[in-house]
Amino acid sequence: MKSHGSESDGHTDVLSGIVRMFLNSNLSIILIIFSMIIGIAALLLTPREEDPQIVVPLADIYVQFPGHAASEVEQLVATPLERMLSQIDGVEYVYSMSQDDQATITVRFYVGEDRERSLVKLFKKLNENADAISPGVTSWVMKPVEIDDVPIVTFALKGANDDNLSLRRIAEELVERLSVVPQVSRASIIGGLPRTIHINLQTAELRSHLLSIQDVLSAVDGANSTQPAGTFVRDDNSIHVAAGGALRSAEDLRNLVVGVFDERPVFLKDVASVVDGAVEVTSYVRHGWGPARHFESHAGSPGTRIGSHGHATSDLEAHENDADSQSAVTIAISKQKGANAVEVARQAIAEAERLRSEVLPDDVQLIVTRNSGLTANHKVNELVEALGVAIVIVVLLLTIGLGWREAVIVAVAVPVVFGLTLAVNLMFGYTINRVTLFALILALGLLVDDPIVDVENIARHFHDRKKATRRIVLDAVAEIRPPLISATLAVIVSFLPMFFITGMMGPYMSPMALNVPVAMLMSMVVAFTITPWLTYQMLKKHYPNEERGLSASDATDGAKSHVLEEAYDPEVVKQTWLYRFFRPLMVPLLKTRLRAITFLVFIFALTVAAAEWARCGWCR
């Protein structure tokens, strides 16, 4: 049986020209080096996160409606606002919570809606309907909420004396300094007792001095303000004059004149007691150690104490005599959108270590209780290691099936393809996370198909013709080009629908919808550029070869005239276990056209049923 080469008899097409160009030059070396460089750069520069970015525009609206009970707030404020805000295009849900004197309305847009545009819509709707809001509403505040508001690093401050007021003031100083760390979007405090000055008015004293509560409030408000009074010039100096002065201490407040009685000034201390202390306790934050307190910790890991000299020390060494649970204050650090969680967490912990010796007393402990950056980096590194193990397994299997030279040729294609794919990820704004790396591991089993087919067919041609030439390489590549392109496009088309998945699963599927098709496309590029050149360079030593380059006319003439002997003997093929296993299965299906069509319709029906079941499963 004879078969002609797969080159067109009319002319050499563009793809053959590309293969020939790489065969006759060292452009493959440049492409390999280039892909490796940009791949390493993309791996280092792309932000690392634990999970993909989920864009869900969300905003809380805090409405003040003083003097009304919760039921009235719900009827007059919350319900009308819910109905009005649900009319905004792109809004999925509107929630509200009503309580005495105020209401909180939460507006959530569909996943994937543009955040800035959604907030503009919300703000515009509120302003357009300001006249429809109940007249008793004194003010409203809109606060956007996004996924990056979730803290990536938290610290616990605790001291030996359980002084929540002092811990809170220390935490306030730390927050001011930690908020300037690059790419930190928010630094907040949870727990502790904020400092406040309590004014406890005495009703009998107010009556005896003919004063009202409003008189006292007006006096305090008027005294606790400063207004510019003008500027004048004297002796070539410009002097600014200010009227009034802010109250600086509780003693200033005690000596504040709040009225006049019997031609004598009435001080605030005459009608009220002034106490400089903490606010009333409304919540508690405590820190304690569980059964895993003696684990092996390292700098930056949750449970690590930042030492008194800026060193991270093990809790086993530093807290052997600590109580099981102590009052604490939590400092939460959130990152900016698109920032590298690993780098932000590292810088925040490094800054906390530096501030430990400057701000914290010796008896106050600063403990890292959460480090999402460390967790994200650890999981990403684990998946990178799994990716490396998968590559090694693929190379070993190829070595057994094809030989070590062919395995090396295919192995070179893997980092090249992944380097180009990671660069595309960086260009499109994707982060390195669990889903991205899972997509790359999934693509590993697919992207090696094109180089394997390429190498195997070229090696087969070398073996059958008993020589290795560039023209043979071109013939071998052209022979498998149509099925190779078709198979690649089929895989790409099968993954593209993931781009159109909506809801919360959309952001999780989009990295797969991008990475797998890009990896397959890059694999096809490698199969037409690097793989033929590298196969020729590594296998030509075992066969007689031509040293001259392959011209376009040589390729065309060789495609026209060369006759290829059949690679396999049918009788030999029939003796293989694979043939004996599949022939009884395939012959009944292919015996008549009706059976073949029936089988295809049955498979299609099963596919539709599986898709419908999956859809109903998601609905549940």
What pLDDT, in 10s, does the model give residues 129-169?
887 788 888 888 888 887 777 888 888 888 767 777 778 88
Q: Please tell me the distance from the alpha carbon of residue 616 to that of residue 610, in angstroms, as a whole number.
A: 10
Of residues 373 and 4, more confidently modeled:
373
CA distances from residue 214 to 201, 211, 219, 248, 405 in whole angstroms, order as listed: 11, 8, 8, 22, 92
- Span 586-611, average pLDDT: 86
What pLDDT is stored for residue 301 in this prediction? 61
Q: Is 162 left (phi over 0), alpha (psi -120 to 50) or beta?
A: left
Token code pair at residue 102 = 């105020």
Query: For 481-533, what is each residue's pLDDT tens digit?
Result: 888 888 889 888 888 888 787 777 777 788 888 888 999 999 999 999 999 99
| pTM of the shown model | 0.62
Q: How far apart are the first and last CA of the chain?
A: 58
Q: Is 177 left (phi over 0), alpha (psi -120 to 50) or beta?
A: alpha
Q: Please tell me the distance from the alpha carbon of residue 346 to that of residue 23, in angstroms, as a whole number.
A: 47
- Span 349-358, average pLDDT: 85
Of residues 51 and 466, more confidently modeled:
466
Whether the pLDDT of residue 3 is over 50: the answer is no
| 94 confidence band (pLDDT: 50, 70, 90) | very high
Query: For 393-439, what is each residue's pLDDT tens digit?
Result: 878 888 887 788 888 888 888 889 988 988 998 888 888 887 888 88
CA atoms within 13 A on the CB side of 183: 18
| H or E element at residue 579 | helix 577-590
What pLDDT is stored for residue 34 in this prediction? 92
Which residues, 6 or more positions from 162, have their beta carbon under 8 angstroms from its beta carbon?
326, 327
Helices and strands counted in the chain (H then E):
23, 20
Query: For 288-343, what is each residue's pLDDT tens digit?
Result: 777 666 554 555 566 666 654 434 443 433 444 444 678 888 888 888 877 888 88
Mean pLDDT across the chain: 79
What pLDDT is stored for residue 456 in this prediction? 87
Query: For 426-459, what is each residue's pLDDT tens digit?
Result: 888 888 887 888 888 888 878 888 888 888 888 8
What pLDDT is stored for residue 322 in this prediction? 46
Cα–chain-centroid distance for residue 463?
A: 50
CA distances from residue 169 to 5, 70, 172, 331, 609 in whole angstroms, order as listed: 82, 34, 5, 12, 63
What pLDDT is stored for residue 133 in this prediction? 80
